[in-house]
A and B are shown apart, each in its own frame.
Chain A
Amino acid sequence: MIRRTLAVVSAGLSQPSSTRLLADQLAAATRDELVRRGSEVELHVVDLREYAHDVVNNMLTGFAPSALREVIDTVTGADGLIAVTPIFSASYNGLFKSFFDVLDSESLVDRPVLIGATGGTARHSLALEHAVRPMFAYLRSVVVPTAVFAAPEDWADGTADGALRARIRRAAGELADQIERRPPATGPADPFALTTDFLQMLGRGDGEPVN
């Protein structure tokens, strides 16, 4: 049985949060789909709210405090990522963006990502397409075609056969497809790994070490 890890990032600010609720539903649907296809799934859910100070400190000092470091390693080392934000002022909220700003820009390359958002009205829904999707395009992640937006009316109509549930199931299937196409993740990249040697850097392969 293949073991997969799924990182879930929620940038909801209130508690309880509808953003977290959507994140949980996306996570459960993706997990169920992967399990149905025969994988074992480990879920890691991150409420960014709990790391808000650490994220700002990371921006100011240039390094992640240890608690945030663990979260970053979990997110960048997972097989798939579900990223959900509330829409503020026509875009992701600042906490969501700040978290992705402190990641190494190479750390989510080719990573399957499912994006979701919540908002006070369905008129915010395209923010997923004009703000969230381009950010992950910059990070060279693979964002699945179905992005899931939940407006207040979706929660009011939150039955198992409602439109939101159908979108969640479709998106989860797409994320599972992308995850299954890839070998299991090997964890976060090591920023201190030496990927060259000195003579290569010096531009000559024939020199002798200096004694």
Chain B
Amino acid sequence: MQFGIFTVGDVTVDPTTGREPTEHERIKAMVAIALKAEEVGLDVFATGEHHNPPFVPSSPTTMLGYIAARTERLLLSTATTLITTNDPVKIAEDYAMLQHLSDGRVDLMMGRGNTGPVYPWFGKDIRAGIPLAIENYDLLHRLWREDVVDWKGKYRTPLQSFTSTPRPLDGVPPFVWHGSIRSPEIAEQAAYYGDGFFANHIFWPKEHTQRMIALYRQRYAHYGHGSADQAIVGLGGQVFMRRNSQDAVREFRPYFDNAPVYGHGPSLEEFTRETPLTVGSPQQVIDRTLGFREYVGDYQRQLFLMDHAGLPLKTVLEQLDLLGEEVVPVLRKEFAALRPAHVPAAPTHASLVAAAGGAKDSTVHAVDDVTGKAPEGATR
């Protein structure tokens, strides 16, 4: 099972000091958090993508490319990549490039984005959110699997004899997750392609997650990719820890009370009861997280949200120490012991290459337009 963190990349005032970080500080903090994730033994760092204040990560592959250069093992991902407002051609190119630079340490999670005004900035309309997600991803899927694509759709100019470069590393596209809180259509989409499905699982009651995962598993089996319990499931989670649980509650409360999304609404106690948020000791986090499996089944990836609501970098890094040293080693062992042999691990570049029968160079060499000849030794 993979463990990691996902970040929204929000610039938020620290309610205990009144201080708001600059964009520069926040961007550097995100990098520091990613490097720390590798240092403490986590597997995945995933960044959000946003195109409006107060968020900084508008250019995920720039950030992930930089992190790739400074890490060795960390898997780089997104939470989420906007499949609605991004051009699927640019996603195909950017993430294939990142895949090469990181030697395969990349996957991505598709999401729609829920901020209405963002869509028209990119020439789109939020009312077409689902159809955009469907059409754009279908094109992206082809661009990574077919060397030459002729394509015509509703939301983008047609493509004729188009080759997306670079071709995926070793001929194997990055693994894709589809993220959604409550749209059954997206669970269906993930199931159709045999891709992973990620339930956000923060800020919302567990019943949403339970229903969406059950639907995804059932449809995954329906489309013949394996049995329902072999579907590839990821979950979010949100925790704040101190050795002593009362200290965790006391320290986190002002951040909770003033947080974007849920601040000034339910109490910390109500919210921890109604959603998967856990504020307490590492042992409480271990117990709660192991409980997720009871309502979604054996799953492959657990990402935690650790750095929002204005928490200072120093605190986040302390949280990552606790997560990496005290929580994840226990979770790894316990989840592994519970997982039946026929349930697969999360796909990685290595496992996908093996499943494809080995690595093959997929470089597409240019053909001379006049003579029709390719350079010596090149294949097309």
Bound complex: CA of A193 vs CA of B208, how far in Å? 12
B201 CB, min distance to chain A CBs, angstroms: 13
One of A17-25, A53-61, A74-82, A84-92 contacting the partner = A53-61
Q: List 13 A-B contacts (CB under 8 A).
A: A60-B266, A63-B204, A69-B205, A194-B188, A194-B215, A195-B184, A198-B189, A198-B191, A201-B130, A201-B185, A201-B188, A201-B189, A211-B194
Known pairs A60-B265, A201-B131; A211 contacts B224 (CB<8 A): yes
Asked whether any CB of chain A lies closer than 8 Å to the CB of B261, the reply is yes
Cα–Cα distance between A202 and B137 once the two chains are bound (Å) = 10
Chain A interface residue bracket vs B: 20 to 34
Contact of B264 (CB < 8 Å), options: A60, A198, A210: A60
Whether the Cβ atoms of A56 and B219 lie closer than 8 Å is: no
Given the complex, which residues of A lie within 8 Å of B360, measured CB to CB?
A: none
Count CB-based A-B contacts (< 8 Å).
Answer: 70
A14 within 8 A of B: no
| A202-B138, A211-B194 known; A65-B274 Cβ under 8 A | yes
Give the complex CA separation of A69 and B207 in angstroms. 11
Q: Which of A172-206 contact B (CB under 8 A)?
A: 191-198, 201-202
* Other 11 A-B pairs with CB < 8 A, given A192-B208, A210-B192: A60-B262, A61-B262, A65-B266, A192-B215, A196-B185, A198-B134, A201-B185, A209-B224, A210-B193, A211-B194, A211-B225
Residues of B within 8 A of A57 (CB): 265-266, 270
The answer, yes or no, to whether A15 is at the interface (CB within 8 Å) is no
A208 to chain B, nearest CB (A): 10
Return chain A residues, CB-CB under 8 Å to B203: 61-63
Q: Which of B260-276 contact A (CB under 8 A)?
A: 261-262, 264-266, 270-271, 274
Q: How large is the interface on B (under 10, 10 to 19, 20 to 34, 35 or more residues)?
A: 35 or more
In the complex, the chain A residue whose C-beta lies closest to that of B185 is A201
Chain B positions within 8 Å of A66 at CB level: 205, 274
Q: Which residue of A is nearest B153, CB measured?
A: A203
**Is the pair B182, A198 in contact by a Cβ cutoff of 8 Å?**
no
Interface string of B208-225 (1 = CB under 8 A from A): 100110010001000111
Q: Are B182 and A192 in contact (CB under 8 A)?
A: yes
CB-based contact B188/A198 at 8 Å:
yes
Partner of B261, one of A61, A191, A202, A210: A61
- Taking CB atoms, residues of chain A closer than 8 Å to B242 are none
Q: Which residues of A contact B194 (CB under 8 A)?
A: 210-211
Q: Contact residues of A with B, CB < 8 Å?
A: 56-57, 60-63, 65-66, 69, 191-198, 201-202, 209-211
Asked if B141 is at the interface of the complex by the 8 Å CB criterion, the answer is yes
Q: Do A209 and B264 touch (CB < 8 A)?
A: no
A53 CB → nearest B CB, Å: 8
A194 in contact with B185 (CB, 8 Å): yes
A202 cross-chain contacts in B, Cβ below 8 A: 134-135, 138
In the assembly, what is the distance between CA of A154 and CA of B189, in Å? Answer: 59
A24 to chain B, nearest CB (A): 30
What residues of chain A lie closer than 8 Å to B205, measured between beta carbons?
63, 66, 69
> Which B residues are in CB contact (< 8 Å) with A197?
188
For residue B130, which residues in chain A have a CB less than 8 angstroms away from its CB? 201
Q: A57-B266, A198-B192, A202-B134 are in contact. Are A191 and B274 (CB under 8 A)?
A: no
Measured between alpha carbons, how far is A69 from B188 in the docked complex, in Å? Answer: 26
CA of A201 to CA of B132 in the docked complex: distance in angstroms? 10
**Interchain residue pairs A-B with the least CB separation, the first 5:** A60-B265, A198-B192, A192-B211, A209-B223, A194-B184
Residues on A with C-beta less than 8 A from B187 are 194
Given contacts A63-B204, A198-B189, A201-B131, A193 and B274 within 8 Å (CB-CB): no
Interchain CA distance A62-B205 in the complex, whole Å: 10
Chain B residues whose CB sits within 8 angstroms of the CB of A193 once the complex forms: 184
Contacts of A209 in B (CB 8 A): 192, 223-224
Enumerate chain B residues within 8 angstroms of A61, measured Cβ to Cβ.
203, 261-262, 265-266, 271
The complex places the Cα of A64 from the Cα of B182 at a distance, in Å, of 14
